[in-house]
Amino acid sequence: MKGITIIKPLALTDAMLVSSTVPEADHPAWAAGTTYALAARVIKNHVIYESLAASNVGNDPELVGSTKWVAVSATNRWKLFDLSSSSQTAQANSISYTLRPGQFVNSVAAVNLTDVTSVRVQVISDTFGSVYDETINRPRIQPEANWWSWFYGKRSEPLASYYIDLPSLLDAQIIITLTGGSAMAVGTLMLGTSSQWGKCVTAGVSLRVKDYSRKETNAFGDTVLVKRRFAKQVEVPLLLETAQTDSLFDFVAGMRATPALWVVSDEFQTSTVYGYYTDFKVLIQYRDLSDCTLSLESLA
């Protein structure tokens, strides 16, 4: 295996979004002079709020500590930018976003994809015109290597599709177009910078599931199971050039509590994690090489 690739996301702002084919019409925009009923929903700055009071008028939903409104979620258009992979932007057949980051980026990633068959990325420069146009077709993954699975087995989708070779141009627009079926949805769309660390990921990568389902047994001995989300946990042993130790340590320290895409292996898509690291340690064992262990956890 090669080293680990980390895609650090850019914080996307309203000003960077040029256009989108996903409408922002979930609910009416909040207006200071309108009276809202209990449970009425409104939009302000791409967030959906629900009224907690009847005859609710003149109360700003964004006011800190407000007892009149509660934030529900990002709007459908902005769910894929809210850093939570479990909330998805949904639209049948086609979703397209045009972004102008105004700074250098070399990577695009789409995570937690449902019913997506292809992802196309275009980079168009004001100066040079179209400089990049690539499409990833997303084949479904066969559960087992046998004829019955080929014809009847339920295929799964890869967690993510990503590009790490985009030309970096300050005057560029980046167009991301996803194509799929009627149930198409996208959890996270990120622009960022990718970097590769270590000589290689060594043998011994471990994969675990942290289940948040509730299991309770009542006084009569009946066990109730409530299915909830889970998080993927991956432990990565990495062989690191000692000269990279300080740089990697500072980089990872700067990534604390920051979701990113961690690509451990192109061969095993289950080892790709959209989430954060929970532990990081380096053993400076040899003059030229060090052993590193990185513990990752996905966003549930």
Mean pLDDT on 98-125:
94
Mean pLDDT on 143-157:
65
Please report the pLDDT score of residue 160 as a whole number: 82
Please report the pLDDT score of residue 258 as a whole number: 87
Domain boundaries, the chain: 10-20+81-194, 24-75, 200-298
CATH architecture of 24-75: Ribbon (2.10)
Q: Mean pLDDT of all residues in the chain?
A: 90
Asked whether this chain's domains 10-20+81-194 and 24-75 adopt the same fold, the reply is no
Mean pLDDT on 231-253:
90
pLDDT tens, residue by residue, 38-87: 999 999 999 999 999 999 999 999 987 889 999 999 999 999 998 777 88
User: If pLDDT is split at 50, 70 and 90, which confidence band does 147 have?
Assistant: low
pLDDT at residue 285 tops 80? yes
State whether residue 237 is helix, strand or coil. Answer: strand
Please report the pLDDT score of residue 131 as a whole number: 96
Report the helix count and the strand count for the chain, using DSSP H and E. 2, 19
**Terminal CA-CA length for the chain:** 27
Mean pLDDT on 96-103:
96
E strands, the chain, in order: 4-9, 17-20, 41-44, 47-51, 69-74, 89-90, 94-99, 107-125, 129-137, 160-163, 172-197, 200-201, 206-211, 214-217, 223-226, 230-241, 260-263, 273-283, 289-298
**Rounded to an integer, what distance in angstroms lies between the CA atom of residue 111 and that of residue 272?**
10
Which residues have a Cβ under 8 Å from the Cβ of 273 and sit 6 or more positions away? 232, 234, 261, 262, 264, 296, 297, 298
- Beta strand 107-125 with 160-163 is antiparallel
Return the structure tokens found at 272.
């790709």
pLDDT at residue 263 tops 80? yes
CATH architecture of 10-20+81-194: Sandwich (2.60)
pLDDT tens, residue by residue, 15-24: 999 999 999 9
Please report the pLDDT score of residue 222 as a whole number: 86
Rg for the chain (alpha carbons), in Å? 22
User: If pLDDT is split at 50, 70 and 90, which confidence band does 276 have?
Assistant: very high
